[in-house]
Chains A and B, each alone.
Chain A
Amino acid sequence: MYDGGKIVPGLIIFVGLMTFPLWYNSGNAGPAPKLEKPAGKTACVKDTHFMRTSHMVLLNQWRDTVLRDGDRTEVTAAGEKYEKSLMLGCMKCHSDKKKFCDECHQYAAVKPYCWDCHFPPKENL
């Protein structure tokens, strides 16, 4: 190999630089956000772990069943009935979008476009 003595160390330095953000920040994701949970409620429509990881999947399913299949059967959790709706269901309990949705979405750098059309409960617009 020509110039092996330069290429190999060069590659090592290159890979090291490219992955710098990964290993520099590893194990240091900053403090996890503290979300404001609705007062006086003990259970959401699914368990916490599912809601944390897959609430968007559930919202998509609700959207399709409500809008396309016309199935608006309410969802029951801890003996209470909830509408299958972002505005008329979820946000009735999670009445502070900033302290619930935004906290986490900012932390995870996710920008959902739900609010381009749907109204958060306290928004003055």
Chain B
Amino acid sequence: MDMKRRDFLKIAGISTIAGIGAPAALQVLLKGEVPASSFASGGAEEETGHGVAAPVGRRYGFVIDTRVFAKDQGLAQKCINACHRIHNVPDFRNKKDEIKWIWETGYANAFTSKSHNLRSDEVHHRKYMVLCNHCDNPPCVRACPTKATFKRPDGIVAMDYHRCIGCRFCMAACPYGSRSFNWRDPRGKDDKTGRYFIERKHLNKDFPTRMRGVVEKCNLCVERLAKGKMPKCVEEAGNSGAMIFGDLNDPHSEIRKVLASTFTIQRKPELGTKPSIFYIV
């Protein structure tokens, strides 16, 4: 029989559609039930909200008022230093090896899908505080092959450094760049200058360091929350109102009051990771 490969594929394709795909495809077309494009920014309520299926129990979240940080220039750095010090986060002074739990970034990096023409210059040039979003639907957890990254019932996406094998799948999975890899031993020092990566006088002996070959990120201060304290960055921001932390599932919490009365946005809500950090711009 003389049939060209192309013809064979055509026939095979058509019969597949007719046989299996047709009923479902037809139905979708008839009812117009095409699922909303995942790139439609700021679309359906489920995308911009924390999520339709409200989780039960405690559910931690943040509101970050970027206007306060914009007014008080030194405040962000204060929060960053405080967090990095109590968690023994090394400073390699090298962009490539950088480890960060909480840091500042530009508008275009923070809100990739919220760009529009003719926005206020001030908003565009402001710096935005970012950290792990402790997503409700965290892709980093799904990517981790050893379950070193896991989600606690209270919404904290935590890491068990003992189990991390340094495969960096979580880093590839996190759409927010919230994770850093230890290319070098955080306890070591610079070969040239002899400077320790963690300054000796800032070493917190009540919290471990990490070792080379491990991924790390913000742990939402689980060790402090367990003792009834606030996360360090929130404590450092004090009552400036720059950072509000609380239980998203408690209708009487301060964070809920702020969320109910102010317009907030999340980072990349269209990806469906349901971040627990809300920004007032």
Shortest C-beta distance, A7 to chain B (Å), equals: 48
Whether a CB of chain B sits under 8 angstroms from the CB of A57 is no
Binds B, one of A13-21, A38-46, A67-75, A101-109: A67-75
Binds B, one of A24-32, A48-56, A112-120: A112-120
Q: Could you tell me if B150 and A72 are in contact, using CB atoms closer than 8 angstroms?
A: no
Q: Could you tell me if A125 and B160 are in contact, using CB atoms closer than 8 angstroms?
A: no
Interface size on B, residues (CB 8 A): 18
8 Å CB interface, A73-125 against B: 87-88, 113, 116-119, 121, 125
Number of A-B contacts (CB under 8 A): 31
Whether a CB of chain A sits under 8 angstroms from the CB of B222 is yes
- Across-interface contacts of B162 in A (CB, < 8 A): 63
- Across-interface contacts of A63 in B (CB, < 8 A): 160, 162
Q: Could you tell me if A70 and B222 are in contact, using CB atoms closer than 8 angstroms?
A: yes
* Contact for B208 among A68, A70, A87, CB less than 8 A: A87
8 Å CB interface, B162-178 against A: 162
Q: Could you tell me if B206 and A72 are in contact, using CB atoms closer than 8 angstroms?
A: no
- Across-interface contacts of B131 in A (CB, < 8 A): none
* Contact for A125 among B152, B154, B203, CB less than 8 A: B203
Whether a CB of chain A sits under 8 angstroms from the CB of B70 is no
- Across-interface contacts of B222 in A (CB, < 8 A): 70
- Across-interface contacts of A70 in B (CB, < 8 A): 152, 154, 222, 226
- Across-interface contacts of B160 in A (CB, < 8 A): 63, 67-68
Would A67 and B208 be within 8 Å (CB), given that A72-B226, A125-B200 are in contact? no
Q: Could you tell me if B158 and A67 are in contact, using CB atoms closer than 8 angstroms?
A: yes
Whether a CB of chain A sits under 8 angstroms from the CB of B126 is no
Q: Could you tell me if A119 and B226 are in contact, using CB atoms closer than 8 angstroms?
A: no
- Across-interface contacts of B206 in A (CB, < 8 A): 87-88
Give the one of B154, B158, B200, B205 with max A CB within 10 A. Answer: B205
Whether a CB of chain A sits under 8 angstroms from the CB of B209 is yes
- Across-interface contacts of A68 in B (CB, < 8 A): 150, 158, 160
A70 and B219 alpha carbons, distance in the complex (Å): 13
Q: Could you tell me if A117 and B161 are in contact, using CB atoms closer than 8 angstroms?
A: yes
- Across-interface contacts of B154 in A (CB, < 8 A): 70
- Across-interface contacts of B152 in A (CB, < 8 A): 70
A88 and B206 alpha carbons, distance in the complex (Å): 7
Q: Could you tell me if A125 and B187 are in contact, using CB atoms closer than 8 angstroms?
A: yes
Shortest C-beta distance, A27 to chain B (Å), equals: 38
Nearest residue, chain A, Cβ from B226: A72
Q: Could you tell me if B211 and A116 are in contact, using CB atoms closer than 8 angstroms?
A: yes
Q: Could you tell me if A117 and B158 are in contact, using CB atoms closer than 8 angstroms?
A: no
Q: Could you tell me if A117 and B210 are in contact, using CB atoms closer than 8 angstroms?
A: yes
**0/1 per residue, B174-206, Cβ < 8 Å to A?**
000000000000010000000000001001011
A113 and B161 alpha carbons, distance in the complex (Å): 12
8 Å CB interface, B137-169 against A: 150, 152, 154, 158, 160-162
Nearest residue, chain A, Cβ from B205: A119
Nearest residue, chain B, Cβ from A121: B205
Q: Beyond A70-B152, A119-B208, A119-B209, list 4 extra A-B contacts (CB 8 Å).
A: A63-B162, A68-B150, A117-B208, A119-B205
Which residues of B line the A interface, CB within 8 A? 150, 152, 154, 158, 160-162, 187, 200, 203, 205-206, 208-211, 222, 226
A-B contact pairs, 30 of them (CB 8 A): A63-B160, A63-B162, A67-B158, A67-B160, A68-B150, A68-B158, A68-B160, A70-B152, A70-B154, A70-B222, A70-B226, A72-B226, A87-B205, A87-B206, A87-B208, A88-B206, A113-B211, A116-B211, A117-B161, A117-B208, A117-B209, A117-B211, A118-B208, A119-B205, A119-B208, A119-B209, A121-B205, A125-B187, A125-B200, A125-B203
The 3 A-B pairs of least Cβ separation, nearest first, read: A117-B208, A116-B211, A118-B208
